A and B are shown apart, each in its own frame.
Chain A
Amino acid sequence: MRELTLHILDIANNSISAGADRINISIVENQSDDTLTIEIQDNGKGMSPEMVAQVTDPFVTSRTERKVGLGIPLLKYAAESCNGWFKISSELGKGTQVAVQFQLSHIDRMPLGDIADTFLTLVLGTLNVNWIFSVKHDDKEFYFDDSELKRELEGIELTEPEVIRFIRSIFEEGIEELQLT
């Protein structure tokens, strides 16, 4: 995968598969520390310590034995190749948290890609998940919690054209104001 937002989409889909109905995604670009940090936190069914160990290692188990694909090992490798780190913590019945950090200016760091499109895809494609997004660039923040939006739109599809346009403009304008590198 060539963009960090594709990895975010991938991890978020693991959260959906784990039955999460609340998923927080945080992206923090800190120029003074020269770091880019991404966190995805869910309230899904969680994993045992053994399974946590397995999901970060692409060679331990065969694909039919677990639902998580190569996405996590690839992301871990990408971060560690950019003076960064990867952490995963999980508790059965509580949820899972994945955090990853990159050196922001590292030559091999993948671009973030289109954040607005990625958020739009997640919010529109999943009805039963409460999404909470936070994107920070130094002291500026874009914060979005879709619960109010979904409550106001109760009874109509989020994929009605006018709703798509409305939500898209929230993301595009909010992200643009941050002036991410």
Chain B
Amino acid sequence: MPTIKSLDDLKRIREEALKKQELKTTSGKTEIIVGMGTVGIAAGARETLKAILDYVDHNNLENIIIRQTGNIGIDSYEPVVQVILPGAEKVTYGRVNPEIAKVIMDEHIVNKRIVADYKIEG
């Protein structure tokens, strides 16, 4: 079984993505961080991260960096998601299930409005 479906596919994806990046060099990138320590995973962090990836995929959102990290240190609020818009302060959200993740994507990532209901101090 080949490791990669087709190298040509990959090269094409890379070239197209690089072209788009050139057009948007000034806009910066949005960073989304999901806490994936033991507590986060047990609380459903994988489903939360999946919901975020699905949202990016379905809505064709570009220039977004999604990262996972270990325990963020606020166990009772897991799953924890942090959002950093270009040039903005980090915003931490707590108890983010897939539905809340979708609200955060709609409001914070797309409309650039912080979702006060789920924001925590972190």
Contact = CB atoms under 8 A, between A and B. Distances in A.
A162 B17 contact: yes
Where chain A touches its partner, the secondary structure class is helix
Nearest to A149: B4
A112 to B, nearest CB: 13
B18 interface: yes
B17 A163 contact: yes
Interface residues of A, number: 45
Nearest to B15: A156
B61 interface: yes
Interface string A138-164: 000111110011001111110111111
B39 to A, nearest CB: 7
Contact of B70 (A16, A160, A163): A16
Contacts of A154: 14
Contacts of B105: none
A118 B83 CA distance: 22
A88 to B, nearest CB: 16
B13 A120 contact: no
A176 B34 CA distance: 27
B26 interface: no
A102 B117 CA distance: 43
Contacts of A144: 3
Given A10-B41, A166-B10, A159 B66 contact: yes
3 A-B pairs with least C-beta separation: A125-B68, A69-B38, A156-B17
